[in-house]
Amino acid sequence: MALSYKQFTLGIEEEYMVIDPVTKELKSHDQRIVTEGQKVIRDKVKAEMHQAVVEVGTDICQNIEEAYKDISTLRRTIKTIAGELDLSVAASGTHPFSSWQMQLITEHARYSQLIDELQDAARSNLIFGLHVHVGMENRDIAMHIANSARYFLPHIYALSTNSPFWEGRRTGYKSYRTKVFDKFPRTGLPEYFENVESYDRFVNLLIKTNCIDNAKKIWWDLRVHPFFNTVEFRICDIPMTVDETIAIAALFQALCAKLYKLRSQNMNFIIYPRPLINENKWRASRYGIDGTLIDFGKEAEVNTRALIYELLDFVDDVLDPLGSRHAVGYIRRMLEVGTGADRQIAVYEATGGDLKAVTTFIEDSFLK
């Protein structure tokens, strides 16, 4: 009996930076982009904690083609509205040179509570990410896939690296965004949970002891969503272009489908300890696709690009049923031309360290 992959729906959330088109600094839009955007795309655009951030989210998409159309429309709509307000938008995990101390906070009870609790860790959290939700038939399957998918997070994260600068400095990292986010509690790679009941017990203990008031305050790189039947991938920087976002989303979807297929055949991917996977996450953050990751099966360092090609081979047999071969195929192009971080650094070096030129380059890439 052929497996059905219709359950693996997609939802994509992107966070954009709002910039002054002249100075290239981050700039508060005072929720004007959200107000105008909601007239066109309703609740698919919303405010974030910092007023220089806009978040968008797609509908539940049945396949990657729907997701492509939705993300393209959202980016184009937000770009147009920003232009009409004498603003601009761009996609990078961090702004190349703006200072978080100068940014305004959105007035909202939720954000006030977060600032009160986390103080400068929250105020300085001026970062921009990509979240991809993949639909699951139930939470038991979601937990199983989340456990197994943890191993591959550094591989896909390396592809998304797009934040080499922070407050006017070249950080030496391809993704500095996660270094900023690490100051938050309950971030990073999740632990292995034996089943969804043990995960729920963990969440309920945190709520009972006043660590959190709901499970959305668990900000791991990957989580079984507390309210939807999805696995939510949260590790990636916001990609610079539409094509990169769609390729990464398609790869997450394909990974889930492949792990589901293995389970249906009574096979499981090896579960590796969190500290080992963390070694690969650090390498991905530091070097992007230009370094090495550890192949824990071989117990050896392997070129990151080679491991990503292996991942593409691993998911190849589910691409046609998902209708995502073309989207995932773009990963090969990304491996050739480099990540957003690589392209930002190339502009920086070509212009003698001109971070305004870097910001303009990011801005000009927004609809590509």
Q: What is the DSSP string of 251-283?
A: HHHHHHHHHHHHHHTT--PPPPPHHHHHHHHHH
Which of 271, 297, 245 lies closest to 191 in space, CA to CA? 271
Q: What is the CATH number of the domain that holds 161?
A: 3.30.590.20
Domain-located, residue 138: yes
pLDDT, position 1: 45
pLDDT, position 334: 98
Domain-located, residue 4: no
Domain-located, residue 108: yes
Q: Which domain holds residue 180?
A: 10-364
Task: Output the six-digit token pair for 315.
Answer: 């998911």
Give every CB contact of residue 350 below 8 A, 6+ residues apart in sequence. Answer: none
Domain-located, residue 5: no
C-alpha 40/C-alpha 74 separation (Å) is: 10
pLDDT, position 5: 86
Average pLDDT of each block of 10 consecutive residues along the chain (368 residues)? 82 98 94 94 92 96 98 98 97 96 84 88 92 96 96 98 98 97 94 95 95 92 92 98 98 98 90 95 98 95 97 98 98 97 98 98 96
Q: What is the DSSP letter of 93?
A: S
Displacement of CA 78 from its chain's centroid (Å): 19
C-alpha 239/C-alpha 12 separation (Å) is: 12
pTM over 0.85: yes
**Overall domain count for the chain:** 1
C-alpha 163/C-alpha 177 separation (Å) is: 6
Domain-located, residue 73: yes
Domain-located, residue 284: yes
Domain-located, residue 54: yes
pLDDT, position 102: 85
356 φ, ψ (degrees, to nearest 5): -65, -40
Which of 60, 74, 55, 73 lies closest to 11 in space, CA to CA? 60
